[in-house]
Every structure is written in structure tokens, then in C-alpha cells.
Structure 1
Amino acid sequence: LRDGNHAWLVPCSYVVLDLMESDLHQIIHSSQPLTLEHVRYFLYQLLRGLKYMHSAQVIHRDLKPSNLLVNENCELKIGDFGMARGLCTSPAEHQYFMTEYVATRWYRAPELMLSLHEYTQAIDLWSVGCIFGEMLARRQLFPGKNYVHQLQLIMMVLGTPSPAVIQAVGAERVRAYIQSLPPREPVPWETVYPGADRQALSLLGRMLRFEPSARISAAAALRHPFLAKYHDPDDEPDCAPPFDFAFDREALTRERIKEAIVAEIEDFHARREGIPGGEAAEAAGASQGAGEAAAGAGAQGAGDRDLWGPIHRSTGRAGAQ
């Protein structure tokens, strides 16, 4: 997170966070108004942050409303990077990626349940689609009670997976189960969300597809007509260079973890004082220590506090007053 400098990602580490009064789950399931403009603006911010993250070859893997922090100005930041990983580069890493994944079932991409052989950034786009649908209806789209029920709910909307997807299923029992079910046709999104904005449903349909390769990317989603009001290619940066996750494979002792935390605190103070990267390490030794850094406040639930005002665009960026 220290190296990911983007307005729509929480900016530091576990030690210091911006104050965000609520999260998207609390807002969706509160009594506050949630208009189409709110949905559009929240989705734009989420995709803008995700585009940056994906350009760094990072997959979040646990996107859900409670991990999207929101403040009183309707600004949204992606949080909880505990499950985030870089794209797999070896069979061993790929196997670890597959077995470790434990994200919330309701937002989990079907390839993770079907044991498909490829895991890509499309995992996150499925989660975004589930969140998008939840904002539109103010209820979860696929609230499965268990693994099997989750698959059933998805197929009730998307229909039976294509033969290519079924053949790619890695688990024989899962493949046999799907093949034993009667064929189902997909349900039009206009039926799932009657009266919803047609452009919104068009974008939703591009996100929620069985085939990962058929899902829209975060960058392409930002160019969709539904988000044209906020889309600005000059203000939707990529990350360069991609993150190096070699540190995540290092076996850390308790003492080494303590040293790493202290190093992050020292680096925070050096950055706060505007010291260039080449001088930051030297200056960090004279930093003020952990006290002030540890005082950063985390996100607090706002309940039904009235966060809402008219959403507008000013100084080249969308916001709310």
C-alpha cells in the first residue's frame, strides 16, 4: 500500500488510515436514499481504483461492500488488502493462490468455485458486478447459503455454463454435478432488475459472465456509457512499475516483522516531511517514532447518519457536497 499512490485506495498501511466514517455495506442496507447517481459515482470510484491496482498486476481477491470505505463526502476507497496478491507466475504459486482463497462466498467468482485452471483479474470484476447489483436493488444478488446453493443461484440467473466452461472445471465431482442439472437459459437483466437503468444493466451484464475472458476489464468499464459523466482518461492513472510480491514469499520471524513495522513508520515520517526517496532512508533514522503514526483513526461505522448531498463534478473530479 505504501507504494500504491492512488486516491481511491487506502493510502498507507495498517498503522495509518484516512478517517472514513462508514462503508458501502452500511450505506446500502441503511434507510438513507441511494439514488442512481450515488450508484454511478461509487462504481466509478471503485473501478478507477481497481484499474490502477490491476495495472500493477495486483488482484484484490476480497472485494465486497464492507471493504469499500466511504466518507461523508461520498468518497470511496478500497480497503482490506489482506488477501491481495500479485498475478501468479509459476505453477506452485498458482496452486497456493487456488487453495488459499477464502473470500466471502456471495462475491466469489465462479471460476474459484469450479476449480477452473486460470485465475486472472477478472475475479475482481465479478465481485464488482455483485456489488453493483447490490447497490441497484439494495439486496445481495447471489446470497448462497453454501457452496452448492451459491452455484445454483448463479446458474438461475446466468443459465447453464457453456460446454467449454464445463470442460474446464478442474473437479470431476463438480463437473458431474453441473452436467446432471437440466439446462437453463439466462434470465435477462431487465427481468432481474425491473425498471433499472438500461445502461447500468448493460455494464452489469458485461461484468457477470461465467467465462473470465468474456468479462469487461476495469479500464474498459470506465469507458462504458453508464460512467461517461465521470470518465476522464487523463485522470485515471496506471501504476508503474508493477508491484514485486517477492517479499510475500519470505519467511518472517517475529523480530523481523517488528523491524519491518518500524521501518514503515520511519518511511512514513520521511515521506510526510517531503524528503526525496534517495534521502528517505537516512532521514528515517531521525524520525519521531511510532506514536504519531499509530494515532491514525480507522473507519468508523456511521449507521444511519445522513451522509448524502447532491453529487456534482468540480475541479475535474466528481464529488458530493
Structure 2
Amino acid sequence: MAVRARTGYYRQEVNRTAWEVPERYRDLKQVGTGAYGTVCSAWDRRMGTQVAIKKLHRPFQSKLFAKRAYRELRLLKHMKHENVIGLLDVFTAEIALDRLRDFYLVMPFMGTDLGKLMKMERLSEDRVQFLVYQMLRGLKYIHSAGIIHRDLKPGNLAINPDCELKILDFGLARQADTEMTGYVVTRWYRAPEVILNWMHYTQTGKPSSHFVSTGMEEKKAKRPRFTTRELTLFSLVAVDIWSAGCIMAEMLLGKPLFKGSDHLDQLREIMKITGTPAADFVVKLQSQDAKNYIRSLPKVPKKDLHSLFSKASSNAVCVLEKMLLLDPERRVSASEALDLPFFSEYREAEEETEALPYDQTMDNTDLPLDQWKRHTFTEILTFRPPRDSRETSL
């Protein structure tokens, strides 16, 4: 017997899964799927635009999934910047908390991402300029909210046909053990201090900074923690700046700059260009293993980036030199990078807005499943669409 949809909603099967969506969203087509959800493109009849709708995969099957779903919803609700993906709508067909099984997130539909774009064509320097400018504007906004992305890569930078860019993928869980095994591309964009930190499985401290990572709670026993000392030594936002530098380098070169086959190889590839670190950097490392490893490496001098990027302008290379510094404390911030001459053509300083601080009180709490569900339901019910949806949907 067919189950009737709630009034104002209709049911459609997408890849053997029932979707129950409001009548305003039509022409659902699957465009992506992953461990945590499926994304469809749809036509929003009310706004006359194409949107992306994400259905989370069994968001309330466990406490971990429920917390992750709650957190993704809260982060998306918080983001209100044209270079960061935000929420156009959130809905559930259920009208009672005790029946809540699924909910759907509606976001701007962008069309492609930087990874796909770079496979299709070599980018001219003026396009690199415009895309990196937007990426830095997005990072300045995210960082001002007290959020670090931690997994910035070409596939997480969505691009529409007008070359407008949005940073994606907040709050998505990434299993630490899978991520660090050496089979994933994210390694190529990973900051050296993060790799070095993985050499030291210390349980002595938790991230106590006001920065919250968008990489979620992995299996705790398998996750090395930053010690408080390391947090004060390594500016956490600098991990995103390193990734941004790797992405910019790839845009200019047409191929990844550091293509390590595993984590140690990744460090070797990095140091072939940055040179082996000086003693003042080594002394800051918490891990004795990491210190020993770096001290055991043959001394390599720093490479001249101008010769490596001979086809790029000196202004472009200047940006890379300030981002791809081994010592995170010396890397530019997103805000400082925007000041560099390379971006002057596109700069509209008044548009480089900052965010309200993101309240992460709940992110650090351990609640039973039903409470995460209740909090999520409240967030869904209190959602207000952006004042000007055209601006958010680009």
C-alpha cells in the first residue's frame, strides 16, 4: 500500500531511497552520494532557481550520527557569506518529534568543483587570481567565526558557470583512520604540522582553543589529540592557509605540488621545496618521534619558488611564498593575504566581511541520542530563510 505524503509534500524514489519533499522542489536528480548522505539537484519553483538538496543517511541511527547531523545543520545555518555554502532551506516531512527520521538540507546548486574544473582545462592566471581571492574571502569569514575547515581541497571548492566559488563541506565526519592511511588524496593538501602531529599519539590534552574543526569526532582511541602546548604554538587556522597555498600552486601548475604516496613521503615532498626545517621549528614539536625523524633527514636547502613557477607572475609567487611556509606561525592569515598586490584588481575590502562567532558550546557536550534529536528538531523549526535568497544562491 502506497504511503501518502504529508499535505504539501510528495514522495519520489531516488536510487531506491524514498524522498519526501515539498511541492516547491521539482525534477529531483541525484548528483552525488557519499557515506553520510545523498545530494540531488532540484528546481525550486518558488525562487525559479536550481538548488541542491541533501538527504542525510540515517542521521539518528546513533549518538555519533545524530551529533554530526546536528552540527552540520548548525554550521550551515551560521554561514552567511557568498563564498561559503549556506542554507537556503531545511525541512522534514514529519510534524512530530517522535516520528522524526530524516531531514533535508537545501543549498545553492553550483554545478561543478575546482577538482573537476582543473581536469577539464588549464586555468589562466587571471582566473586563478579571481578564484583564490574568493577562497581567501571565504576563509577570512570562516576563521573569524572561530571555525577551521581542516580538509580544504579542490573537491571542496564549488564553482558555478560564472566562476563564482563557495567553500563546501562543513561538519562532515571523516574517519581519522581511513583519512590517514595513505589512500586518500586529502594528504596532498595537508599541512606539515598536522602530519607531524600524527606521529605522536598523545592523549594528554584536548583542543582547548575557541577554534572548532569541521572534521568531526572520529573514533577517539584512534585520534591523536593536539596538546594545549601545540595549540599555542601552531596557529590552527594556518592549516587551512597551507591547503589554500597547495590549491593555488596546483591551479598555476596544472598538477598537485606535493604528491606524496604516504605521509612520510608527503613530508619529504614538502621539504624538497620548503627545505628541511631549522632548529627553532623542530624544538616546537611535541612529538619526540617527529623531532627524531626531521633531525634524521639530510639537509635540503629551500627551493626558489620563482624558478618553480616560472610562467607565473612575481605577484602570484609572492602569495605562495607567504602561504607555503613550513612554520605555521609565520604563514599569512587569510586577511593578510587579501592585502597582497596579486588581489588588488578584485579587491572590495568592504565586501570582505567577518562572521559572528560560532557558539560551539553544544559541540563539546555528550548528550543522549534523543536530546540530539530534540535539538536538531528545534534548529529545523527555528530556521529562517536568507532575507535575499538570490544573493545566497548566486
Measured against the shorter chain, the TM-score band is 0.7 to 0.9
Judge conservation of contact 2:122–2:254 (CA < 8 Å) in 1: no
Deviation at residue 273 of structure 1 after TM alignment: 8.6
Judge conservation of contact 2:148–2:237 (CA < 8 Å) in 1: yes
Aligned pair in 2 of structure 1 residues 147, 33: CA closer, same or farther (>3 Å)?
A: closer
Deviation at residue 100 of structure 1 after TM alignment: 11
Judge conservation of contact 1:62–1:83 (CA < 8 Å) in 2: no
Partner of 2:188: 106
Partner of 1:74: 163
Q: Which moved more, 1:253-262 or 1:123-132?
A: 253-262
Partner of 1:57: 146
2:187 is aligned with what amino acid? R
- Unaligned 5+ residue runs, structure 2? 1-75, 91-103, 198-225, 388-393
Which of 149, 155, 160 matches 2:271? 155
1:66 is aligned with what amino acid? G
Judge conservation of contact 1:9–1:78 (CA < 8 Å) in 2: yes
Judge conservation of contact 1:44–1:227 (CA < 8 Å) in 2: yes
Which of 243, 247, 254 matches 2:362? 247
RMSD over equivalenced CA pairs, Å: 2.5
In 2, Cα distance between equivalents of 1:173 and 1:237: 41
Judge conservation of contact 2:323–2:331 (CA < 8 Å) in 1: yes
Deviation at residue 253 of structure 1 after TM alignment: 3.6
Which of 251, 259, 267 matches 2:374? 259
In 2, Cα distance between equivalents of 1:134 and 1:165: 26
Deviation at residue 213 of structure 1 after TM alignment: 1.2
- Unaligned 5+ residue runs, structure 1? 85-97, 275-318
1:16 aligns with 2:131: no
Judge conservation of contact 2:136–2:335 (CA < 8 Å) in 1: yes
Aligned pair in 2 of structure 1 residues 218, 83: CA closer, same or farther (>3 Å)?
A: farther
In 2, Cα distance between equivalents of 1:148 and 1:124: 20
Point out which structure has higher relative CO (alpha carbons under 8 A, 6+ apart). Answer: 1
1:190 aligns with 2:303: no
Aligned pair in 2 of structure 1 residues 273, 110: CA closer, same or farther (>3 Å)?
A: closer
2:253 is aligned with what amino acid? A
SS of 2:307's partner is helix
Partner of 1:146: 262
1:7 is aligned with what amino acid? E
Partner of 1:121: 237
1:8 is aligned with what amino acid? N
Aligned pair in 2 of structure 1 residues 157, 83: CA closer, same or farther (>3 Å)?
A: farther
Judge conservation of contact 2:157–2:166 (CA < 8 Å) in 1: yes
- Give runs of aligned pairs for residues 171-250 of structure 1, distance below 5 A: 171-240=287-356, 242-250=357-365
Which of 37, 40, 52 matches 2:126? 37
Judge conservation of contact 1:40–1:227 (CA < 8 Å) in 2: yes
In 2, Cα distance between equivalents of 1:233 and 1:5: 17
Deviation at residue 42 of structure 1 after TM alignment: 0.6
1:272 is aligned with what amino acid? P
Judge conservation of contact 1:60–1:83 (CA < 8 Å) in 2: no
Partner of 2:62: none
In 2, Cα distance between equivalents of 1:164 and 1:99: 30
Which of 107, 118, 130 matches 1:28? 118
Deviation at residue 260 of structure 1 after TM alignment: 3.5
Deviation at residue 33 of structure 1 after TM alignment: 4.5
Deviation at residue 129 of structure 1 after TM alignment: 0.3
Partner of 2:137: 48
2:129 is aligned with what amino acid? R
User: Taking every aligned residue pair, what percent have the same amino acid on both sides?
Assistant: 38
Q: Deviations over 1:78-115 (max 9, x none)?
A: 0001269xxxxxxxxxxxxx999869211111111222
1:6 aligns with 2:121: no
In 2, Cα distance between equivalents of 1:99 and 1:224: 38
In 2, Cα distance between equivalents of 1:99 and 1:138: 30
In 2, Cα distance between equivalents of 1:252 and 1:173: 36
Partner of 2:58: none
In 2, Cα distance between equivalents of 1:7 and 1:133: 24
SS of 2:246's partner is helix
1:214 is aligned with what amino acid? R
Which of 274, 278, 282 matches 1:166? 282
Q: Deviations over 1:123-166 (max 9, x none)?
A: 11001000000100111111111111011001100001011111
Q: Deviations over 1:142-195 (max 9, x none)?
A: 111111101100110000101111112222222112112221111100222222
Q: Which has the higher strand share?
A: 2
2:382 is aligned with what amino acid? D
1:259 is aligned with what amino acid? R
In 1, Cα distance between equivalents of 2:310 and 2:326: 22
SS of 1:29's partner is helix
Partner of 1:313: none
In 2, Cα distance between equivalents of 1:61 and 1:222: 20
